[in-house]
Structures are given as structure tokens and as C-alpha cells.
Chain A
Amino acid sequence: MKLIFEKSIKGRDGYSLPRDLFKEIKIEDCLPEYSISKDKKLLSEVSEVDVIRHFTKLSKLNYGLDDGFYPLGSCTMKYNPKINEKLASLSNFIYAHPLAPEETVQGSLEIIYDLNKLLCEITGMDEYTMTPAAGAHGELTGILIMRKYFVDREDKRHKMLIPDSAHGTNPASAAMGGFQVVEVKSNERGTVDLTELAKLMNKDTVGLMLTNPNTVGLYDEGIKDIEKIVHGKGGLLYYDGANLNASLGIIRPGDAGFDVVHLNLHKTFSTPHGGGGPGAGVIGVKKDLIPYLPTPIVAFNSDQKKYYLSDVGEKSIGMVRAFWSNFPVLIKTYVWILSMGPDGLYNTSETSIINANYVLTKLKKYYKPAYDRYCGHECTVTGKEYKKYGIKTLDIAKRLMDYGMHPPTIYFPHFEPYAEETIMVEPPESESKEMLDKFIEIMIKISNEAKTNPELLTTAPHITPIRRVNDALAVRRAILTYDDELKLKDELKYQDKDINF
């Protein structure tokens, strides 16, 4: 599609300036000459109508959750309730300046305070910080808390254990936290190998980062032994909450012995993904770790009946961002929890687990499961049976688009020999049985096509706005702005149909 720059007409505008531009004041009297830009910075020149049409057209090239099935594994693409959006956009909230006096923001502070209590009860933790902006940001925060805890004890642990099935953010966060990453292999059941864990866990080791159910969608049945091994050697247990959607009202990470928990509010707690954020990656800790939380936290003064931002104290890891939280995400989470209640939360996990096992049961004749056992809220199957027809999992994923569905997560997790060419399906509680049946029917159809007409898959998708892209060229040529493109104008030679669709 044409870029906004290609629609720009000199002299056109899309914004109404205030009437009074303080014309009597000369800019030269305000700013020194060395600071003023010699030329106007060129954006684009389009009208409001142009902007509306441009972005409406762009939006139609996207596929959103409200368009249909979006079974990305470990992403929990569940329905984003509309009332939550309305309530998060009330003017008393959105125009609140982060440095406004505390007495003017008592409502915002109350929500943060109350949500803290609710999340503590749901996960069995003692205190939350609402500060981290995303899951990985929460991971880094949690890891820095663990680090500070040991530094305070003059305990020089420097290794972090991470299962091979973990999200890439786990090892990356541990490395940012200054730890050496040690991988723990999975056993033939797809979960943590206890013998291996016992061997690796020692006095140099900070602890273990665990997702439970893990990224294959499997509950770690050895969780009690894992807890004993890690705590037994003085380590801490970190819970990656990406997959909490399988646990609500059933099991709480706090009760299972986890010391630090991060929650992706944009997954389990229904807030939208926005094409890659903003979400929130709040961190919950047990009592001993509260002094290390990032500063400040919201507290309540019961004498004055007043909420306030409280400095965590000198043990705090410090700040991990400017200001306090991704506040609208917290409101949406708060409203969602209140709308669900205890029964609704249980129903959420129960339904998502039944959904995932239903899909697994119906698909396993056609796509071999990575591990043949009941799963949590997501199931991992593989496309490796189709290699003999020249079909990769990627081809299956692309073919799904032709049937109007977003593909599941593919090629993750990956560990041989069980989990290769993986297809990880997460059908959250907001997906109906009819939708699952349709997905299953299409997947079976694709399995037949793979055998009888593989080209249909290798050339898919066919009916999407664009078709398969040349990733290698994007890296080699590195056109990262329109100005980069303009420099290569003669080489590129786009025809009208290539940019005007």
C-alpha cells in the first residue's frame, strides 16, 4: 500500500492550531541561534480525511482477535472486553498527570492498591509491584530483586537455571541481570528432569525460572520436588506467569513455593495486545523479598484514610522506568477480575484446559503430539509427519490463513527429539466449541492437502492482502525508512500495482 509520504501534497494540513499563536513574541528573543533548526523537519502534509482513509485502509490489512480464531500458543489471545476499554478511558484517569498531588489521584491509587490485594489472593503472593511495563520487563525486575537479595546476604551466587523449554526472554533477562545461564534438560515427559536439576542446583546457583504449565502446555508434576531441591540449596524459585491461564482457582504459584512471580496482564487478565503492547508485567513476591521491590509502591494510611506512593526503602532495587505503571492496563485487569469473580476465574481455567485437550484429542491422529499426555491450557503437536511430502510446519501455518484463521505459534518450543516442527495451539476460554470444531476441520483438511496437493501449501497463503515475503532481502538490503527507499529508487523500480493495492 502507498505510504503516507506518497500521499503528501504540499500545503495541506490535518490539524487545527490554537487561534492565538503569541505572534507578538519573536522566537529569536526566546532561543539562542545555535539551538534553532535551520530547516523545518519534514513529516507529511495530508488532511484529516486523508489520515482517516489511510489508516482505515491500513487497519484492513491487519487481522485482529475480533476477526476470528487467534490460537497463538503461550500468548493467550483471549477476548478483550469492551467495557474495560471504556472504563480505562474515563477523563479523570487519562488526564491525570503522574506528578499531580496525591490528594488529586486517590481514585487511581485506590485501584492500584486494590488490584495488588486481588492479585496476591489469586496467586498466593504477599505483595505486588505494578511498575513493569511488559513480561520481559517484569522478568528483569524479578531477577534484579533476586540478585539484590543475595548481594545483601553477601552470597555470591552467579548462575541461573532455566529449562530448555523456557521462553527466550528468560535466558535473555537472566543475562541482563548479570547471571550465567545454565540450561536444564527436559525429561521424556516434557518436564524438568529432577536428577539433572539436583545435579545443577548448588551454592553458586541463584535458583530456577519456571513456566508452569510449561511452554509445551504440560504441568510439571514434580513441582514439589523441584521446590525442595531449589530451596534446599538456598535458592529462589521464579515463576514465569505467561501460562497462568491454566491455574486460576486451581493452584497458586505462591502455594507451590514460588518466591517471585510475574504476570502478563495482557495475557491471562484479558487486556489487549495492541500489535505488540502495551501490556503490563507485574511482579509478586513473598514477604522476605518485599524490601527489594522497585520503588515506589502504593500504600494506605489508615489514620488519614489516604492512599500514597511509598518509598520502598534503601534495599529497593531502585526504579526500572519513569513513573509508576501502565495504568490503563491495571484498570482493565481490575474490571476483568471483578467481572469474573472466583467462579468465573475457575471457569476460565477449566474451560481453557478442556478446550486445549479437546483440540489435542481431535488432532492427534493427524498431527503427532510432542508428548502424548493431557495438557494444560495449550497443546503442542508437530508437523514432522509431513516432511516426507516436502511440507514444513511453516507451510501448514500459512495455509491456515487461506481459511481465514491466524496460525498458532510455530517452531516453538523446540527440543529434539520430541518437539520439532512444533505447532502450539492455545484456544482460550473465549473460544467456543464451534470455533474449535471449525479449526479442527480445517487442520484435517490441510493434512489431506499436504498429502495430495502439497503445492497448495508451499505456495500459501493465496488470498491474504500480500503473500510470502522475502525475509533475507530485508536483512541484506536494510531499507529501514522511506528515505532509505528513495536512495534506491532506480534499483527498486516498483510499478504502480506493487505499491498501490
Chain B
Amino acid sequence: MRYIPNTEEQKRGMLKDIGVSSFEDLIESIPQSIRLKEKLNIPEAISESESEEKIYHIAQKNSNFFLMKPLVGAGAYRHYIPEAEKFLLQREEFWTCYTPYQPELSQGTLQSIFEYQTYISRLIKMEVVIPSIYDGASATAEAALMSLRLTHKNKIIVSNLLHPHYRETVKTYLSPHEPEIIDLPYKKGLVDLEKLKTLIDEDVASVIIQSPNFFGGIEKLAEISETVHSKGALVISVIVESMSLGILKAPGEMGADIVTGNAQSFGMDLNYGGPYNAYLATKKQYIRQLPGRIVGETVDVDGKRVFVMTLRAREQDIRRERATSNICTNHNLNVTAANIFLSLIGTEGLYQISLLNTKSAHYLENLLLKSRKFERVFDYPFYNEFLLKSKDDISVINKKLLENNFIPPLKICEFYPNENLKNALLFAVTEVLSRDDLNKVAKILSE
């Protein structure tokens, strides 16, 4: 076997050196009665060329996704990823190494994480950034748990316009602690601020708000924060499309106490849902309750500036059941990817892509409204996702889009079944859709 260098003869020699007559002697502590009697019932080994052929065939059962541009986002956004990032990421030194426990052999990974922490800190204007939780949903759940620990309260208010998967994940993570979780309803596509004022009281640990929200709407986070803080609760601000940070105001400027963000847009492929990555950030005063790993700067014995995993006394391998979280292996390679991506696009690139995504989304909305086949569900400011109600059957619309090589927009009723959103679609637009593409979409949908 090409991945197992030792030959049968070498193994026999090693067994002799060990001082046993057979391999059986080494595993005598495994009771015979529960051992496998026959070999595993799985297909016999195939060669490398056979495996390549097999997987290519299976891949053909998917659509040709390179050519299929998404009109759907809802937590996963296709952006262009420069080849330089993909090329660098494949260096085995990043790809095959372990968690950087040994700083002398891991400065590449450690410095890259430190740079990324800096980027995210600047984008969201928060002091401390945990670079890598698995994804936005689990990071938001960790933030919710963190808010319970910080406030010693057991009640959380969650915006109904938080991504439905994120809401579900928060509920799952919190279930053992039996907190009271209150749904904050929306009004006209944004959270109902008046309702929030009636729901919030001194027993609330935190309020979780996504902006841009699941419908793409931009929340008035500063006003929300004021209300939340007036009762001593914490604001957890969730960003699902991080590219929006290029143009939108940072949550740190609008009163957020904890920020979580899905970083998928920063150079990660869609990959049918993962692996993505999320950051979790807060103020320095809350540092001890942070979950997950963080990198800090220090010096080595020669006085060199170096980087190291730090503030580790919170973590599971040291604190065990008293740790702030169980998280261990996370999504560090995605951090390296995001760091390379942000370095490539730079200050101006991020601003321009964010600007372009806003403009082209509004361009498409305008075209669709003009076709008179669609109308707005709500009048609300949005970034690059928007909700439109169709006069035609949305299943027919989506079929037409699919036939024309577009991944159709989301039927919002799949996530909001009880609401008056039956024939509404949630569109997302990024820079991978050109003006020609958008004109084509509008044409298909006007017919």
C-alpha cells in the first residue's frame, strides 16, 4: 500500500525486535469474543486512477456549478477568490501542520492568525478577536453562552431575523442550561424596536441581533443597543455577510458588546455548506469568558518579536470541565485563507467590492420592480439581499432560472412558513453576477 511504507518483512523483523512471535501477542488485551471474526464488508481497494475516475463520475451528478451563478445567499456567498490565495494555501506547511502548540515550529500559522485578528478588529472595531470558531451559527451560540456567564442571568432575546440555522443552533447549545429564549418579532423587515422595549427587563442577559438581517435589512443597531443597555443587558451583534463591513458602520461603533461573524465571504469556497469560519470578538474587560483560541505577541529568548497561543487558562485542555468552551480543533486553515484574502483585496478592494455588491443588488431589485412582476414585501434599507413578492408562481420562476444556469433565490416560506411570505423570494447579489447576468435574470423573469 503506497501510504504504508513498512513491508511485511520489515514488520516481521520489528515484531521479533519487540520480542513477540506474532502481531496477535500485541493485542491480547482485546477480548476475543468482541473481535471482528471476518474482514470488514466494504469494497476491495481501488487504485488511484480508479478513485479519480469514480469521483469524477459522481461529481458529474452535480450541476456544473462553476457556470451556475447563485442568486441565493442566506449565509453562504459566492465571491471571487484570487488564485494567489488558493495557491498559497496549498503549501504543505500551512496545510498539513497541527495546532500551533510549539511556537518555535509554527510562527507561520501564529503570525498569520495575529494579522487576521488585527484585520477583524479594525473591521468591526472591537478590541479582542477570537479568530476561529467553526461557523457563524456555533459562534453565535458560544456568544450566547458567554453572555449567560458574564451576567449570571438566564434569559435571552433573539431576533426573529437572525439566520434560522443560527437560531436553531443557539437553541440547541443553550438547551441544557434551560434558559428562557424569547423571539423578538420583526416589523416591516426590521426588528420591532417598540416590541423590544416591552420585552426587555433586568433579567435579560443579552439580545442577539443580526445586521444585515436574514432579509438583508440593515438594522438600527445604535438605537437597539441603547434600549438593551438601559436594562443592563448585552448586545450580541451577528454579521452573516462579512463583506458588508467594507461599507457599513462597524458594530463596535454602535454599542455591540460581543460580535460574531461568518467569515466565509473572505476567501472560502461554498463547498456545499462548509467548512467556513467565524470570529467572535468582544471588549478587553470580558476577555476571561471568551471561548476558543487566541494568539498574542511576545518575545523569544533572543528578544525577537514572536507570536504564541495565549490566555490559555480558559481552555479545555487546561481547565477541563471548568473551561469556557470545549472547542479544540477549529477552522484555522480558513483563518489563513481569510488572512491571505484580506491581504490581497486590501483597504480599497474591500471597500469597492462592498460598494459594488450594494449597487448591483439595488440594480437588480430595480429591474425586477420595473418588470411589474414583482413587488416589495417591505420598505426597508438593504445591503445585498432583498425580499420580493412575485406575481407568478415562484416554483415556476425558480425552474426557469435553473434552466438558465442560475442557482435560484431562496423561497423564504421554507424558513418562515407561518408568515405572509408565501410567494416571496430572497435574492442575493455579489460581484460574480455581472450587469449582463443581472439583465438576463430580469429578462427571464419578465417573460
Contacts and interface: CB of A to CB of B under 8 A. Distances in A.
B373 interface: no
B370 interface: no
B102 interface: yes
Interface stretch (B193-201, B229-237, B269-277): B269-277
8 contacts: A14-B343, A121-B40, A139-B326, A250-B30, A277-B134, A277-B329, A339-B45, A343-B39
Contacts of A95: 65-66, 68, 78, 269-270
B25 A224 contact: no
A113 to B, nearest CB: 11
B91 A278 contact: no
B172 A432 contact: no
B208 interface: no
Interface stretch (A53-61, A196-204, A228-236, A417-425): A53-61
A27 B356 CA distance: 9
A83 B58 contact: no
A135 B95 CA distance: 18
B93 A60 contact: yes
A375 B41 CA distance: 27
B420 interface: no
B122 A92 contact: no
B93 A92 contact: no
A251 B33 CA distance: 10
B349 to A, nearest CB: 4
A27 B359 contact: yes
Counting chain B CB atoms within 10 Å of each CB, which of A139, A147, A218, A335 scores highest? A335
A358 B94 contact: no
Contact of B84 (A52, A337, A350): A52
B364 to A, nearest CB: 10
Interface string A160-188: 00000001110111111111010000000
Contact of B218 (A35, A272, A470): A35
Given A34-B220, A341-B43, A25 B359 contact: yes
Interface stretch (A16-24, A282-290, A384-392, A444-452): A16-24
Given A99-B76, A277-B329, A43 B347 contact: yes
A313 interface: no
Nearest to B414: A99
A315 to B, nearest CB: 13
A219 B25 CA distance: 13
Contacts of B299: 469-470, 473, 498
Contacts of A3: 111, 114-115, 118
Interface in B206-255: 218, 220, 222, 245-250, 253
Given A25-B363, A321-B274, A374-B26, A41 B347 contact: yes
A436 to B, nearest CB: 8
B297 to A, nearest CB: 4
Nearest to B12: A354
A61 B349 CA distance: 28
Contacts of B293: 276
Interface string B366-400: 00000000000000010100000000000000100
Contacts of A173: 326
A111 B27 contact: no
Given A67-B93, A319-B169, A324-B274, A169 B328 contact: yes
Interface residues of A, number: 209
Interface in B130-149: 132, 134-138, 145
Contacts of A21: 352, 355-356, 359
B305 A275 contact: no
Interface string A332-368: 0001011111111111101101110110011000000
Contacts of B175: 144, 147, 178, 317-318
A14 B345 contact: yes
A221 interface: yes
Counting chain A CB atoms within 10 Å of each CB, which of B1, B97, B381 scores highest? B97
Contacts of A403: none
Interface string A460-501: 010011111111011101111111110000001011011101
Contacts of B70: 97, 100
Contacts of B329: 134-136, 264, 266, 273, 276-279, 281
Interface string B165-208: 11011011101110000000000000000000000000000000
B19 interface: yes
B421 interface: no
Given A40-B351, A461-B104, 9 more contacts: A5-B115, A61-B93, A96-B65, A172-B320, A319-B168, A374-B26, A374-B27, A468-B104, A480-B127
Given A177-B176, A327-B272, A275 B98 contact: yes
Given A275-B100, A319-B168, A478 B287 contact: yes
Contacts of A335: 51, 55
A395 interface: no
Given A133-B134, A276-B330, A475-B311, A327 B271 contact: yes
Given A176-B176, A362-B17, A338 B123 contact: no
Contacts of A38: 249
A12 B46 CA distance: 50
A130 to B, nearest CB: 10
